[in-house]
Structure 1
Amino acid sequence: MTPTTTRSSYLMRAGLVRNVRSGEHLTTFVVSGVATVLITRLILSLSGYPQIGGKGLHIAHVLPGGVLMLVAISLLLGYVGPVVRPAAALVGGVGFGLFIDEVGKFVTSDNNYFYKPTAAIVYVVFVLIVLASRFLSTRRPIDPREELANVIDHTVEGVAGGLSRQRRAQASELLGLVGPRVQGRRETAALLEACPPDEVELAAPVDAAWQWLQRTFERVATHPKAPTVAVVVLAVQAIGAPLIAISVGNGLVQLSVSGVIVGSLLSATFTVRGGLQLRNQKRLRAVRLFELAVLVSLLMTQVFQFAGTQFAAAGGMLLDLVLLGLLRAERDRLQREEELAKKTPAATTPLGLPPDPGAPRFPEDPSDPV
């Protein structure tokens, strides 16, 4: 049975086709949401927590947060094509950050904005969003028909307003991942070719920021000193996180402090194992272990750190996110090199033996120089 006639998955038959850039959009949403919470708390702290309103009225910032989420939903419902999604992810993330920042008022009987577990609740909510998006995007590989649908998504804007060189290149690159036997590929290629050229497009600061960040991560991750610096940072963090938790938590009896210590020990274990793999010249394996160390810190250590120190733990979270970005950039680069090496077989003799570099070389053609 050919790939074009295999039975579609239930989700695809139900019309739920995944966006190949959903990871970027969800990351934009989460980063903008977390940044909004931190900036909001900082501004309110510096300004003495003013109240907007008067005469018994108080306009909480959850209200503009709801308006921004409404704007993001309206953009997604009102326009087709991929152009609007980065902006909607950014606006929606800011709105959600303003909303979730006031969760303390919603879970306490006295509307306590300063409810101590608020920081941990906010952090766990964003972690669950990330884990849910990762589950939906990785529980099964992207189907070639989903990739083809994403190419058609690019042509949606192209048939109406034309495609710029950058947009056309993105669509062509994605089309190259679709096998020639996938039904509709030839027609999609023709439709993409028929889209008129047009260099007028909306400014895309989110896309530009993503491209700059990816280039920066790749450049920093390939530096010869990058692995050593990663080991040092992970080691310092594994030691420093428990010390900070103990100093703020007033001893080892609190659950949050115990959670930080256990998470730090697990991160340290992965870090040591990664360092040993690095010494054995197994760089890809080492990078994967360092990535596990950072994930344990993000999903366990930082959760308990936020519960104990509240928003003072934001620095450790940001450091983990930067490390995770660098490690994933290096992992992707090493995996590309590994796949390229597998696709490029080494030169061999007819018997399967490597050629003898000392053997005399004879030209196949008299005009061919030796």
Structure 2
Amino acid sequence: MSRSRLLVRNFQAYDHIQAFVVAAVSAILAIRLFLHLTGYPTVGGTTLHVAHMLWGGLLMLTAIVVLISFLGEASVRLAAIVGGLGFGAFIDEVGKFVTRDYDYFFQPSVALMYVMFVLVLLAAHAIHGLREYSRREYLLNALREMEEVALLDLDAEEADRARGYLAACDPGHPLVEVLRSSLARAVLVPVGIPTGIRRVRETLRRVYRRIGRMPRFDLAVILVFVGQLVIKLAYGAALVFIVGLGWERVLDWRFAGYAFGRLRDLSPAEAAQLAASALSGVFVFLGVVRILAGNRLAAFRNFERAILISILLVQVFSFYNEQFAALIELAFNLTMLVALRSMIHLEQSRAAV
């Protein structure tokens, strides 16, 4: 086997990575809630302590065995979920292994978990986004779709995907025509229930098609993003000045001097969070300028950059300071990101017509 044949990218991998991350986060939240409600019991009696990290390792091992032992998309989906649950149980105890006193409640541990999940998603994006797919990869992914033909379980969406992959293959390859012929003869089954993320995307696209033509839609978008920025900056200012200085100094006529001293004494984490928030604000401003100029696509891309900065940078410090309370802000940012990407996709489709 030549080296060039060792690693072939799976075009559906990002969906499985998302399932992996969702399962891992769900495991962490479930474990923390269970331990809180039960008073943090010790499993193993008076002499032993069976850490749930070990159960996480067992689940990850199970996922690997499933991947090695079974063929088909169903085994990959199962391994992604089981492996995600295992990874969540494993990394939940990170605080014990970065502190000398094995502190499960180590404050930065939640931020460390979040950074790990961000790195997983960035790695998946880099694997699939930094280099174009080759014709060989298109052919092998078309073959994966043809598994459903053998199982008599091919639906219209899978058939369309396979045709798209075959269109990008080398037309001279002997398998291409064979696969096209098999697709043409395949009996299609009804499209299955879409995943939660796909349902959200499809709903957002339908809503955008309906409201995107309204005359005040652009103004509403501006208000949403500027409002979010104002709330974020106001919250940051309240933490830095009101909490840091107290109302007496805030209302004092010498507030400017106190404020300058407070900014000078910011911790590295606080300074980085403020800088990242300011950078996010710059892209919101650029997006507003673009949308007022009538260029929705460019505006949405700038808003997307602002949200990504919030997710990848600002959110890390939010988890450091607020721990699991920052999940609410993260959920909002992720919803905004999914909505923006759906809007960008539709604007690109309109521009291509």
TM-score category (smaller protein): 0.7 to 0.9
Matched positions, count? 325
Out of 297, 308, 325, the residue aligned to residue 312 of structure 1 is 325
CA drift of 1:248 comes to 11
Question: What is the distance in 2 between the residues matched to 1:44 and 1:241?
Answer: 31
Question: For residue 281 of structure 2, what is the aligned residue in structure 1?
Answer: 268
- Letter of the aligned partner of 2:155 in structure 1? R
1:123–1:303 Cα contact (<8 Å) kept? yes
Question: What is the distance in 1 between the residues matched to 2:238 and 2:81?
Answer: 33
Question: What is the distance in 2 between the residues matched to 1:75 and 1:200?
Answer: 27
Out of 167, 178, 191, the residue aligned to residue 168 of structure 2 is 178
- Letter of the aligned partner of 1:16 in structure 2? L
Out of 130, 133, 140, the residue aligned to residue 131 of structure 2 is 140
- Letter of the aligned partner of 1:333 in structure 2? L
Question: What is the distance in 2 between the residues matched to 1:188 and 1:248?
Answer: 67
CA drift of 1:244 comes to 6.6
CA drift of 1:270 comes to 0.5
Question: For residue 358 of structure 1, what is the aligned residue in structure 2?
Answer: none
- Letter of the aligned partner of 2:206 in structure 1? R
CA drift of 1:176 comes to 5.5
Out of 198, 202, 213, the residue aligned to residue 211 of structure 1 is 198
Unaligned runs of 5+ in 2: 246-261
- Letter of the aligned partner of 1:102 in structure 2? E
Question: What is the distance in 2 between the residues matched to 1:320 and 1:287?
Answer: 14
Q: In terms of Rg, which structure is larger?
A: 1
Question: What is the distance in 2 between the residues matched to 1:236 and 1:255?
Answer: 23
Please give the secondary structure, in 2, of the residue aligned with 1:18.
coil
Please give the secondary structure, in 1, of the residue aligned with 2:276.
helix
1:257–1:308 Cα contact (<8 Å) kept? no
Identical counterparts, % of pairs: 32
Question: What is the distance in 2 between the residues matched to 1:244 and 1:68?
Answer: 44
CA drift of 1:285 comes to 0.2
Question: For residue 330 of structure 1, what is the aligned residue in structure 2?
Answer: 343
1:241–1:264 Cα contact (<8 Å) kept? no
Question: For residue 163 of structure 1, what is the aligned residue in structure 2?
Answer: 153
Of 21-30 and 267-276, the range deviating more from structure 2: 21-30
- Letter of the aligned partner of 1:218 in structure 2? R
- Letter of the aligned partner of 2:204 in structure 1? F
Q: Does 1:47 align with 2:38?
A: yes
Please give the secondary structure, in 2, of the residue aligned with 1:84.
helix
Q: Runs ≥4 in structure 1, deviation > 6 angstroms?
A: none
Of 224-233 and 33-42, the range deviating more from structure 2: 224-233
Question: For residue 4 of structure 1, what is the aligned residue in structure 2?
Answer: none
Question: What is the distance in 1 between the residues matched to 2:172 and 2:201?
Answer: 31
CA drift of 1:31 comes to 2.3
2:95–2:109 Cα contact (<8 Å) kept? yes
Taking structure 2 as the reference length, the TM-score comes to: 0.82
CA drift of 1:54 comes to 1.6
Question: What is the distance in 2 between the residues matched to 1:336 and 1:136?
Answer: 25
Distance 1:163 1:244, change over 3 A: farther
- Letter of the aligned partner of 2:111 in structure 1? A
CA drift of 1:188 comes to 2.1
Question: For residue 83 of structure 1, what is the aligned residue in structure 2?
Answer: 74
Question: For residue 6 of structure 1, what is the aligned residue in structure 2?
Answer: none
Out of 296, 300, 311, the residue aligned to residue 298 of structure 1 is 311
Q: Deviations over 1:129-174 (max 9, x none)?
A: 1111111111112223312211101223533x32333465354443
1:242–1:257 Cα contact (<8 Å) kept? no
- Letter of the aligned partner of 2:342 in structure 1? A
Q: Mapping of 1:272-291 within 5 angstroms?
A: 272-291=285-304
CA drift of 1:122 comes to 0.7
Q: Mapping of 1:1-370 within 5 angstroms?
A: 13-159=4-150, 161-166=151-156, 168-175=158-165, 177-178=167-168, 181=171, 183=173, 184-193=175-184, 197=187, 207-222=194-209, 223-224=211-212, 225=217, 227-228=221-222, 230-232=224-226, 234-243=228-237, 246=240, 250=244, 253-339=266-352, 341=353
2:156–2:190 Cα contact (<8 Å) kept? no
2:146–2:162 Cα contact (<8 Å) kept? no
1:245–1:260 Cα contact (<8 Å) kept? no
Q: Which has the higher helix share?
A: 2
Please give the secondary structure, in 2, of the residue aligned with 1:59.
coil
Question: What is the distance in 2 between the residues matched to 1:270 and 1:298?
Answer: 14
How big is the alpha-carbon RMSD for the aligned residues of Structure 1 and Structure 2? Answer: 2.8
- Letter of the aligned partner of 1:273 in structure 2? L
1:277–1:286 Cα contact (<8 Å) kept? yes
Please give the secondary structure, in 1, of the residue aligned with 2:56.
helix
Unaligned runs of 5+ in 1: 1-9, 342-370
Distance 1:51 1:177, change over 3 A: farther
Distance 1:217 1:60, change over 3 A: farther
